[in-house]
């Protein structure tokens, strides 16, 4: 069992409940949708103990429960004060172990199959991977900077990639892409504990990026950023031959250096949603806020839950595939929180967050506009 | 009656989403903060309102199935672990703040509301409650009050929860009836006063560890937020002098000089006692005066003043969560209880001896003052994988020794808590509690095996 690797941590859970937080039903989105203790970090440590001691075996219902976890990291952040247990990693290891014990949820099969067979989550043909590259965008065949859009942006939110690349063009930065050679980053496979399949993908993408001569991989997707930056190293067992940078870090640097100057915004009052996979995982909190604050006269307001205390959009951990309706509830709670700030636009920095929050916004009829940070920047460059 | 029937009936009461009998779920609810071994319930149920709680209790009586009640489950005496299986009632879906009465300075909360949540709400109105534990963000007010909790925060002046703060309960009795206590009982009267209705039945429930009823709502005293505060930190070379300070600080009963007085000696620095002091109030001059007075007292008694930040950083995090709590291992509070104001040194010597004998390197002897007394504890940190057996030996020896010297246990809990040590000592008092228990709970439904053993097994 993979959870054996975490045995010491699992038994170092002192059952303090810090991970559940003071707002018992609104700190952990898994507990918010499932309600029982098994949906919390603490509960999972006790389940892991029972599994390690052979008192409990994986069952389909247990796996269903594991898929109420958005892998958002809120519990791990709270546990930093207690035992510093890697709750998310342990949950992923449990998902892997359950798969190895022969239990795979049917709902997860098509997505996994699409990635393995077609190298993207939507079963789209590889040729479509370059469709977003319109004639007004300049791309080099090889460059030291490689933009990695990932599946959601490529096939559903290509405007995010175009915006990012247009900004790079405006700043005269040479950039390349993998195009048809790009494969899904593999993030969903890590969430599903399918490490072998994920390894193949990591090998492919690393090789192709190397062939392009890239020294830096830039992405606008929080999931791709985390997978490439964190999981690739782990799964390949070696350092990557390139740096991985998220668009918020990159744009922040450009603004800071004066390579781009943000002039004016056409946006009214805005708020910012921290994507879990760049926020709690990598503490990228200051960079997007600095960008926003550099836009003159932009009215910015924080949601009560932000930074380490941010609330997941509902798109994390593949929960939306297994518990679609409940995952939406998580997104709805977030969009209501955003609406209550009085903001008209919600800015974020991950296409999955944009997708979930757009859906939640429609369902709740908030009338809010959900945009990626690259749109905010491009708007401020043009206006 | 088969398990299925009870399950179906629970579903009828609270809905399918709020009942579980999944094996993994029962494991998730199988342990508290103590080293007690896992105990499994047959069902977990999450009612959302008092009426549902009453229905569940009636159902349990009908089927002679035990009920164990759990708030956030972070107490440490095996005081809710489902010893005899049955229904585990999780109160955390009842976590609302019902009302804050700024005129009468009271708040009514549901039992599963956390202290932290209440504190944030009160702060918006420039109010606060006093007296609190250091159990972190998730502890519920119901769990805390019913076990008569109290930590270093505020206890020096206000004592444990219940001494001043609890004004009344809404409670579901072990046979399913719902009652209120305190002035809340009277028609057209808000919960603002606990006394005046014959015996103090609110007091009967405080410290009862859930065996006399399930609390569903709590009325609490709140106060204006302190406008001024002061912190002091002192090191002492012996406990005798610390006791003198504690004596002087709590001597003017009702007008104690400090709000919190928290002391500790760790195995790593034997003989060195760190003392953290917190003073608060509404008048700057008075705070300044008190702070100077306590400082003088400490100096008179050979205390060496240190950085007050060591006190402020501690007290400011008591409710939100102290940092790095399990950095050197999991916690166990052995031998925790109250002693009169002059009695600490004997316990310290006993603790030092036992810890030394077993070469137990991760331990602290701690004490915090309350009016004319201290709560003392032996804090043990251990690795569950490698030090469990040793921990249990040390803990047992400490418990035995402390009871032998003479102290009042702080919480009692089940057979893996302090219960085995008190039964023999309580004599007629133990029988009296059992009699009350039997008259209130003839089927021994609520928390069987906790605090007292029942005659009839479910
Ligand atoms: C880091 C840390 C520090 C701690 N420090 C302190 C401290 O300073 N002082 C202190 O007193 N404790 C301390 N504790 C223990 C714990 O925080 C407290 O016991 C807390 O009050 C428990 O709250 P809970 O909601 O977890 O109660 P639970 O553990 O769920 O329940 C406690 C008891 O109350 C009963 N109960 C719960 N809810 C109800 C209800 N509605 N009706 C009837 N019975 C009920 C249970 O059956 C059980 O007997 C500490 C814990 C931690 C993790
Ligand atoms: S915060 Fe960490 S140590 Fe505390 S209960 Fe949660 S997982 Fe366990
Ligand atoms: S990762 Fe997020 S959803 Fe999963 S248990 Fe932790 S806080 Fe809950």
Distances A61 to A31, A57, A71, B22, B108 between C-alpha atoms, Å: 16, 11, 18, 8, 38
pLDDT at B458: 31
Give the mutation candidate from B137, B322, B385 for the A interface (greatest A CB count, under 10 A): B137
* Statement to judge: residues B80 and B124 lie in one domain: no
Q: Of B57, B90, B123, which residue is a domain's last? A: B90
Contact B73 A15 (CB under 8 A): yes
* Statement to judge: residues B74 and B161 lie in one domain: no
* Statement to judge: residues B273 and B378 lie in one domain: yes
Give the domain CATH number at B331.
3.40.462.40
In a domain, B237, yes or no: yes
pLDDT at A171: 96
Distances A144 to A167, A209, A210, B245 between C-alpha atoms, Å: 17, 10, 10, 69
Least confident of A45-54, A169-178, B349-358, B419-428: B419-428
Q: Of B64, B90, B116, which residue is a domain's last? A: B90
Q: What's the rounded mean pLDDT across residues A50-63?
A: 98
In a domain, B417, yes or no: no
- DSSP state string for A153-198: HHHT-HHHHHHHHHHHHHTT---EE-GGG----SHHHHHTT-HHHH
Q: What's the rounded mean pLDDT across residues A43-61?
A: 98
Q: Which of residues 360-419 of B touch A (CB under 8 A)?
A: 383-385
Taking the C-alpha atoms of residue A155 and residue A139, their distance in angstroms, rounded to an integer, is 19
- Residue whose CB lies within 8 A of the most ligand 1 atoms, among B75, B262, B332, for a mutation test: B75
* Statement to judge: residues B284 and B304 lie in one domain: yes
Which residues, given as ranges, of chain B have pLDDT below 50? Answer: 455-458
In a domain, B443, yes or no: no
Taking the C-alpha atoms of residue A187 and residue A318, their distance in angstroms, rounded to an integer, is 10
Taking the C-alpha atoms of residue A369 and residue A269, their distance in angstroms, rounded to an integer, is 11
* Statement to judge: residues B235 and B340 lie in one domain: yes
Distance of CA B165 to the CA centre of its chain: 14
Are A64 and A109 in contact by the 8 Å Cβ rule? The answer is no
If one looks up domain A108-252 in CATH, what number appears? 3.40.50.1860
Q: Containing H/E element for B56?
A: helix B50-62
pLDDT at B1: 53
* Statement to judge: residues B220 and B287 lie in one domain: no
* Statement to judge: residues B254 and B381 lie in one domain: yes
Taking the C-alpha atoms of residue B28 and residue B25, their distance in angstroms, rounded to an integer, is 5
pLDDT reading at A232 higher than 80: yes
Give the domain CATH number at B40.
3.30.43.10
Collapsing DSSP states into helix, strand and coil, what is residue B392? Answer: helix
* Statement to judge: residues B26 and B68 lie in one domain: yes
- pTM comes to 0.96
A309 — contact with chain B (CB < 8 Å)? no
pLDDT at B190: 94
Q: Which of residues 37-66 of B touch A (CB under 8 A)?
A: 38, 44, 46
Q: Which of residues 170-229 of B touch A (CB under 8 A)?
A: none
* Statement to judge: residues B207 and B331 lie in one domain: no
Percent pLDDT > 90 in chain A is 97
B117 — contact with chain A (CB < 8 Å)? yes
pLDDT at B162: 66
pLDDT reading at A235 higher than 80: yes
Distance to chain B for A163, nearest Cα, Å: 42
Question: What residue in A sits closest to B116 (Cα-Cα)?
Answer: A22
Cα B127 to averaged position of ligand 1 atoms, centre (Å): 24
A38 — contact with chain B (CB < 8 Å)? yes
Q: For residue A307, with 0-12 CB atoms within 10 Å meaning exposed, 13-18 middle and 19 or more buried, which class applies?
A: middle
Cα B170 to averaged position of ligand 1 atoms, centre (Å): 19
Question: For ligand 3, atom 2, which residue shows the shortest CA distance?
Answer: A72
Q: What's the rounded mean pLDDT across residues A354-364?
A: 98
Least confident of A120-124, A191-195, A233-237, B448-452: A191-195
* Whether domain A2-100 has CATH 1.10.1060.10: yes
Ligand 2 atom closest to A15 (CA)? 5
pLDDT at A106: 96
B331 — contact with chain A (CB < 8 Å)? yes
Domain boundaries, chain A: 2-100, 108-252, 257-382
Identical fold between A2-100 and A257-382: no
Q: What is the CA angle B227-B325-A284, rounded to 5?
A: 80
* Statement to judge: residues B203 and B317 lie in one domain: no
Q: What class is the A257-382 domain? A: alpha beta
pLDDT reading at A383 higher than 70: no
Taking the C-alpha atoms of residue B173 and residue B333, their distance in angstroms, rounded to an integer, is 31
Are A346 and A368 in contact by the 8 Å Cβ rule? The answer is yes
- Identify the domain containing residue B10 by its residue range: 3-90
Give the mutation candidate from B24, B94, B327 for the A interface (greatest A CB count, under 10 A): B24
* Statement to judge: residues B284 and B353 lie in one domain: yes
Taking the C-alpha atoms of residue B405 and residue B340, their distance in angstroms, rounded to an integer, is 12
In a domain, B235, yes or no: yes
Q: Which tokens belong to B101?
A: 């009465």
> Alpha-carbon dihedral of residues A188, A190, A192, A195, nearest 10 degrees?
130
pLDDT at B134: 86
**Structural domains counted in chain B:** 3
* Statement to judge: residues B74 and B138 lie in one domain: no
For chain B, the three-class secondary structure string (H helix, E strand, C coil) is: CCHHHHHHHHHHHHCHHHEECCHHHHHHCCCCCCCCCCCCCCEEECCCCHHHHHHHHHHHHHCCCCEEEECCCCCCCCCCCCCCCCEEEEHHHCCCEEEEECCCCEEEEECCCEHHHHHHHHHHCCEECCCECCCCCCCEHHHHHHCCCCCCECHHHHCCCCCCCEEEEEEECCCCCEEECHHHHCCCCCCCCCCCCCCCHHHHHCCCCCCCCEEEEEEEECEECCCEEEEEEEEECCHHHHHHHHHHHHHCCCCCCCCEEEEEEECCCCCCEEEEEEEEECCHHHHHHHHHHHHHHHHHCCCEECCCHHHHHHHCCCCCCCCCCCCCCEEEEEEEEEEECCCHHHHHHHHHHHHHHCCCCCEEEEEEEECCEEEEEEEEEECCCCCHHHHHHHHHHHHHHHHHHCCEECCCCCCCCCHHHHHHHHCHHHHHHHHHHHHHCCCCCECCCCCCCCCCCC
B103 — contact with chain A (CB < 8 Å)? no
């Amino acid at each position: 069992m993979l959870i054996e690797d975490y045995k010491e941590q699992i038994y170092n859970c002192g059952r303090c409940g810090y991970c559940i937080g003071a707002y018992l039903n609104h700190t952990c989105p898994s507990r918010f949708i499932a309600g029982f203790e098994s949906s919390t970090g603490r509960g999972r440590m006790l389940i892991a103990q029972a599994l390690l001691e052979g008192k409990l075996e994986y069952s389909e219902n247990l796996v269903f429960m594991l898929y109420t976890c958005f892998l958002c990291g809120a519990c791990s952040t709270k546990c930093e004060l207690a035992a510093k247990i890697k709750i998310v990693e342990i949950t992923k290891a449990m998902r892997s172990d359950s798969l190895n014990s022969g239990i795979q949820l049917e709902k997860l099969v098509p997505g996994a199959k699409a990635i393995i067979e077609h190298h993207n989550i939507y079963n789209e043909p590889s040729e479509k991977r370059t469709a977003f590259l319109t004639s007004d965008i300049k791309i080099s065949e090889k460059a030291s900077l490689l933009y990695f859009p990932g599946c959601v942006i490529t096939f559903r939110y290509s405007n995010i990639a175009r915006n990012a690349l247009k900004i790079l063009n405006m700043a005269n930065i040479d950039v390349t892409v993998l195009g048809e050679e790009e494969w899904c980053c593999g993030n969903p496979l890590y969430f599903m504990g399918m490490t072998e399949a994920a390894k193949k993908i990591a090998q492919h993408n690393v090789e192709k990026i190397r062939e392009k001569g890239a020294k830096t991989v830039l992405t606008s997707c929080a999931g791709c950023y985390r997978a490439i930056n964190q999981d690739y190293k782990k799964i390949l067992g070696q350092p990557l031959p390139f740096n991985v940078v998220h668009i918020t870090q990159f744009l922040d640097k450009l603004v800071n250096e004066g390579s781009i100057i943000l002039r004016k915004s056409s946006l009214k009052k805005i708020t910012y949603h921290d994507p879990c996979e760049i926020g709690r995982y990598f503490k990228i909190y200051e960079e997007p806020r600095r960008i926003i604050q550099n836009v003159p006269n932009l009215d910015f307001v924080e949601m009560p839950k932000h930074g380490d205390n941010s609330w997941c959009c509902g798109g994390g951990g593949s929960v939306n595939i297994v518990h679609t309706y409940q995952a939406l509830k998580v997104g709805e709670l977030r969009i209501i929180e955003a609406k209550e700030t009085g903001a008209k636009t919600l800015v974020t920095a991950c296409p999955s967050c944009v997708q979930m929050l757009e859906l939640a916004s429609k369902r709740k009829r908030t009338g809010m506009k959900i945009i990626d940070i690259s749109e905010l920047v491009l708007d401020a460059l043009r206006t | 009656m088969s398990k299925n029937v009870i399950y179906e009936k629970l579903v009828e009461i609270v809905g399918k989403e709020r009942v579980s009998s999944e094996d993994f779920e029962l494991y998730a609810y199988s342990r508290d903060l103590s080293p007690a071994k896992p105990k499994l319930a047959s069902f977990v149920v999450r009612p959302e309102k008092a009426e549902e709680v009453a229905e569940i209790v009636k159902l349990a009586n009908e089927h002679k199935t035990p009920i164990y009640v759990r708030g956030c489950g972070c107490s440490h005496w095996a005081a809710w672990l489902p010893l005899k299986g049955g229904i585990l009632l999780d109160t955390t879906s009842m976590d609302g703040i019902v009302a804050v009465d700024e005129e009468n300075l009271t708040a009514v909360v549901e039992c599963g509301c956390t202290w932290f949540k209440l504190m944030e709400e009160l702060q918006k109105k420039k109010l606060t409650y006093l007296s609190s534990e250091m159990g972190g963000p998730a502890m519920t007010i119901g769990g805390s009050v019913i076990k008569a909790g109290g930590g270093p925060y505020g206890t020096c002046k206000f004592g444990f929860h219940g001494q001043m703060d609890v004004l009344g309960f809404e409670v579901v009795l072990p046979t399913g009836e719902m009652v209120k206590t305190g002035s809340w009982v009277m028609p057209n009267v808000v919960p603002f006063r606990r006394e005046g209705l014959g015996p103090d039945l609110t007091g009967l429930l405080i410290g009862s560890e859930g065996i006399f009823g399930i609390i569903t709502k709590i009325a609490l005293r709140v106060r204006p937020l302190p406008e001024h505060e002061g912190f002091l930190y002192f090191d002492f070379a012996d406990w005798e002098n610390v006791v003198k300070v504690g004596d002087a600080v709590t001597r003017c009963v009702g007008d104690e000089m400090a709000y919190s007085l928290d002391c500790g000696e760790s195995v790593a620095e034997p003989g060195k006692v760190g003392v953290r002091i917190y003073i608060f109030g509404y008048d700057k001059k008075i705070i300044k005066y008190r702070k100077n007075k306590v400082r003088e007292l400490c100096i008179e008694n050979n205390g060496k003043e240190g950085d007050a930040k060591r006190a402020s950083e501690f007290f400011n995090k008591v409710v939100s969560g102290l940092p790095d709590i399990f950095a050197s291992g999991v916690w166990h509070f052995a031998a925790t209880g109250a002693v009169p104001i002059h009695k600490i040194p004997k316990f310290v010597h006993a603790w030092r001896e036992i810890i030394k004998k077993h070469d137990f390197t991760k331990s602290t002897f701690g004490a915090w003052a309350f009016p004319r007394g201290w709560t003392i504890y032996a804090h043990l940190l251990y690795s569950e994988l490698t030090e469990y057996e040793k921990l249990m030996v040390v803990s047992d020896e400490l418990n035995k020794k402390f009871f032998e010297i003479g102290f009042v246990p702080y919480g009692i809990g089940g057979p893996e808590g302090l219960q085995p040590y008190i039964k023999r000592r309580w004599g007629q008092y133990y029988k009296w509690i059992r009699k009350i228990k039997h008259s209130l709970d003839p089927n021994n439904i609520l928390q069987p095996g906790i605090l007292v053993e029942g005659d009839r097994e479910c």
